A = this chain, B = another copy of it.
């Protein structure tokens, strides 16, 4: 059974895509062994595809005060609150790999307050969740709580921007019925 809404926005054929997009998709396939569905679904709109992945890469691949595992924690926690199946399952896989921890993604997805994380990571996720669910109430007290854990202004921007970017991403995935590839479910759960 497939979600009917997934049928509304069928993925374009890879061969029909603009050169740069096809190249990126083939590179991902080469590296991962499969094409994550987010690439196929968003390729329907080349300009939006380019902006989406440029934004994604600017936030998730750069160096900075947050580890790559911590960035994925933000994605998993906020995407779970937004009930986004694609993002929780795909980024849960990436989080398990980045954190080298087979348990952490499920813990954070269900209730990040009970996950095996440091108090600093807990403060990071409290802020990310407030940006995701009630950004209009963010106040100086919220910044102070992060500063108390040693986060810099640029770290705070990163936390907020990742939460905000996945607010966009979660909504597109839910509207398009974007389906997590079967490969993600088991990734990072068993030692190789």
Contacts and interface: CB of A to CB of B under 8 A. Distances in A.
* A contact face: mostly helix, strand, loop, or mixed: helix
Interface stretch (A13-21, A26-34, A112-120): A112-120
A84 B106 contact: no
Contacts of A114: 3, 85, 174, 177, 179
Q: How many copies does the complex hold?
A: 6
B110 A88 contact: yes
Interface of A: 1-5, 8-9, 44-45, 47-48, 50-52, 54-55, 57-59, 62, 80, 82-85, 88-89, 92, 102-103, 106-107, 109-111, 113-118, 131-132, 135-140, 143, 153, 156-157, 160-161, 163-165, 167-172, 174-177, 179, 182, 185-186, 189-190
A91 to B, nearest CB: 11
A6 B79 CA distance: 26
Contact of A50 (B48, B54, B160): B54
Contacts of A156: 8
Contact of A160 (B143, B164, B172): B172
